[in-house]
Amino acid sequence: MLNGIIPLFKERGMTSFDCVRKLRGILKMKKIGHSGTLDPNVDGVLPICLGNGTKVVDYLMNSGKIYRGSITLGFSTTTEDLDGEVVDQKELVSPLTDDQINQVLQEFVQKELIQIPPIYSAVKVNGKRLYEYAREGLPVERPKRKVRIDYFKQTKPSVYNQDKKQQTIYFEVGCGKGTYVRTLAVDFGKKINMPAVMSDLTRIKSGNFEIENTVTLHQIESAVKENQLSSIIYSIDHALKEFEHFELDEKQWKIVQNGGFLSARVINKNNNYIVLTYGNDVKALYYFDTEKNIYKPEKMFNVN
């Protein structure tokens, strides 16, 4: 079975699960998952986890994401992007200056921003996804969530459409997991009392993979045919770079193989988590039990 991570370039018009489904056919394996859903009209980096790689999905998601896109002021939609029906329109008689735009963008930059996810999203409330409530016309209270915005900046001068009285702002945002960029666009408009929509979006970094590292479904298919698949699969360790690593000796490896504990004295490290390797191959992630002063298994990857 294949184990590792493929940084896929998700094309527009596909759901994230469409990509997983297609890859199950291309790679002839079932144990495949992705780290962080991308909407159908959004393209960009979608890390795909294979085999034991599915165990590091959470760590990939925790690494943060970077998006580039645009916000258009002057109208809003049901879905907060261009896929939805227009629900509000208002002419922007005088366009915002760069200084005004930058000032509003800066208001979002904080470690704990409270967001209300879009009604057309996959967030679950009482076992049902929000978009299901929306499609059935049922009322539902959307849960507030804390998200992290590391930076939010313009990437080039905005464009003002004199005829439509609309302004498009081009941005890049670095954020933590669970952030809805669509909602950032809408909330930008709310801060200046204007309807707004996310008019374009590409994820350019996720799970420590940049868009330059990605491969398309077609390229993966070609790699399978040419027996070159190993050249585009990254090790599970890519998701664990932030943790301290410790190389086991043969005796310690036998203990870890059976899910045993290791004393802090043996490891001689002062970390909450530690990646254990044997033969320079990642075998497990252990966590430190402060009460008992030992390291215990958090995730086991390859103990055969």
Read off the pLDDT of residues 154-193 as tens digits, 9 standing for 90 and up: 999 999 999 999 999 999 999 998 898 999 999 999 999 9
Give the integer Cα–Cα distance in Å for 127 and 139: 15
Identify whether residues 79 and 188 lie together within a single domain.
yes
Collapsing DSSP to helix, strand or coil, 233 comes out as: coil
pLDDT at 102 over 80: yes
CATH value at residue 118: 3.30.2350.10
Task: Please give the pLDDT value at position 114.
Answer: 87
Both 146 and 263 in one domain: the answer is: no
pLDDT bin (cut points 50, 70, 90) of residue 138 is confident
Q: Are residues 167 and 260 in the same domain?
A: no
- How large a percentage of the chain has pLDDT more than 70? 99
Q: Are 95 and 212 contained in the same domain?
A: no
Helices (H), 177-267: 181-191, 217-225, 250-257, 264-267
Do 109 and 169 lie in one domain? The reply is: yes
Q: Which of 148, 183, 201 is the last residue of a domain?
A: 201
The number of distinct structural domains making up the chain is 3
**Side-chain half-sphere CA neighbours of 66 within 13 A:** 10
Domain boundary among 172, 201, 230: 201
Q: SS3 of 292, please? A: coil
* Residues 227 and 215 reside in one and the same domain: yes
Q: Answer yes or no: is pLDDT of 81 > 80.
A: yes
Confidence of residue 22 (pLDDT cuts 50, 70, 90): very high
Q: Which domain holds residue 175?
A: 65-201
Query: What CATH number should be reported for the domain holding residue 281?
Result: 2.30.130.10
Q: Give yes or no for residue 269 having a pLDDT over 80.
A: no
Regarding whether 181 and 59 lie in a shared domain, the answer is no
Selected residue with higher pLDDT from 111 and 186: 186
| Catalytic residue list | 39
- In this predicted structure, the answer to whether residue 152 has a pLDDT above a threshold of 90 is yes
Pairing of the two strands 145-161 and 110-115: antiparallel
Residues 75 and 148 occupy one common structural domain? yes
Whether 144 shows a pLDDT value over 90: the answer reads: no
* Residue 128: strand, helix, or coil: strand
CB hemisphere CA count around 135 (13 angstroms): 8
> Which pLDDT belongs to residue 110?
79
Q: pTM of the prediction?
A: 0.90
What is the pLDDT at residue 172? 98
Say whether pLDDT at 111 is over 80. no
User: Does position 46 have pLDDT exceeding 80, yes or no?
Assistant: yes
Measured CA to CA, the distance from residue 257 to residue 70 in angstroms comes to 50
171 and 291 belong to one structural domain: no
pLDDT at 236: 93
Shared-domain flag, residues 94 and 176: yes
CA distances from residue 125 to 120, 129, 134 in whole angstroms, order as listed: 13, 6, 12
79 shares a domain with 196: yes
Asked whether residue 164 falls in the same domain as residue 181, the answer is yes
What pLDDT is stored for residue 123 in this prediction? 81
Q: How confident is the model at residue 257 (pLDDT cuts 50, 70, 90)?
A: very high
